[in-house]
Amino acid sequence: MTMVSTSDAATAATPEFVPLSKHIGCEVKGIDLRKPLRPDTISAIYRAWLDHAVLLFRDQDLSQEDLIRVTGHFGEFAPLGRPAHTLPKGFSRLLPNIMMISNIRENGETIGALPDGEMMFHHDTIHREDPHKATLLYSVEIPTYGGDTLFASGTAAYDALDAEVKAKVEGRRAVNYYVYNSVVRGDKQGVDATSQAAHPVIRTHDETNRKAIYVNRLMTVKIEGMSEQESDTLLNFLFDHCEKPEFVYTHVWRKGDLVVWDNRCSSHARTDFPSDQRRLLLRTTVKGTSRPY
């Protein structure tokens, strides 16, 4: 019997990279993520991810094992900080480190996290001392309209700031709260010392060395060392600036989409969707490789 190594068996497909907007997002075409990828293909995909902050793979048909394998191409798994869920119909199990994002309810209980409606712009886990670097979201069930995910380039927004604002925010740190389940900015409900963290307002990416605005409307509550009023004025200016349409790619989901985003240099938001339609996505996250600086 001839032994075939993983790299020999890996597909020789050559990906095509198609930008999704001027500043953020890139579709990767010609790749079937059910099949193992060659190391040079993984490197090309990773390079495109660093360049575009968000990658989209359409028309995938992934098992949970595939999702776990693909997550590994972006770094080390971040352990799941949530209890096991009730499983929806069609699922016999949920592998460790996969989270359900869903509004589906079984026996009156939500089966997943972030169930309903609109979410303001945020960076995943910015409330932690060691925020996750990447998030992967794979769509299983999608409503007929709404529930789009918007991605904003903090890098392009930083580059477009005028020198006066850059000088004002340089070296500043801001406090961020855990408020995913609220649409109220900086909602203090349930916030304690373990669910808040201060990070630089301008973050330097540890792999590209590019600077990005690292505050967001949902979770950032205050710039340290400023009066409440001065901080609010500056933060509101930065939120409005980051969310300008020219820095944003809006992703309209189709079943079988896998989207991978870089939390170090992009924020994201979600539009409302009908509460009587099912939405289910599988989510994994990748550990950060450095504390934000």
Class of residue 258 by CB neighbours under 10 A (exposed 0-12, middle 13-18, buried 19+): buried
Class of residue 53 by CB neighbours under 10 A (exposed 0-12, middle 13-18, buried 19+): buried
Nearer to ligand SIN, 78 or 119 (CB): 119
Element (H, E) at 158: helix 154-159
How many beta carbons lie within 10 A of that of residue 66, not counting itself? 18
Query: What's the closest the beta carbon of residue 190 comes to ligand SIN, in angstroms?
Result: 18
Nearer to ligand SIN, 39 or 190 (CB): 190
CB 101 within 8 A of CB 278: no
**String marking each residue 83-122 x if it binds ligand SIN according to CB under 6 A:** ------------------x------------x----x---
Q: If DSSP states are collapsed to H, E and C, what string results for 84-116?
A: CCCCCCCCCCCCCCCEEEECCEECCEECCECCC
Nearer to ligand SIN, 9 or 252 (CB): 252
Nearer to ligand SIN, 121 or 231 (CB): 121
Nearer to ligand SIN, 32 or 148 (CB): 148
Does 268 sit near ligand SIN (CB under 6 A)?
Answer: yes
Q: Which residue has the tokens 């769509």?
A: 139
* Nearest residue to the partner ligand SIN, using Cβ: 149
Separation of alpha carbons 10 and 36, rounded Å: 5
Which amino acid type is present at position 157? A
Query: What's the closest the beta carbon of residue 119 comes to ligand SIN, in angstroms?
Result: 6
Query: What's the closest the beta carbon of residue 124 comes to ligand SIN, in angstroms?
Result: 6
CB 247 within 8 A of CB 153: yes
Which amino acid type is present at position 164? E
Backbone φ and ψ for 229, nearest 5 degrees, come out as -70, -45
Does 176 sit near ligand SIN (CB under 6 A)?
Answer: no
Considering only residues 111, 243, 270, 292, which one is a binding residue for ligand SIN as defined by CB under 6 A? 270
Query: What's the closest the beta carbon of residue 285 comes to ligand SIN, in angstroms?
Result: 9
**String marking each residue 222-251 x if it binds ligand SIN according to CB under 6 A:** ------------------------------
**String marking each residue 116-155 x if it binds ligand SIN according to CB under 6 A:** ---x----x----------x-------------x------
Residue 235's SS3 state is helix
* Total binding residues toward ligand SIN, as defined by CB under 6 A: 8
Binding site for ligand SIN (CB under 6 A): 101, 114, 119, 124, 135, 149, 268, 270
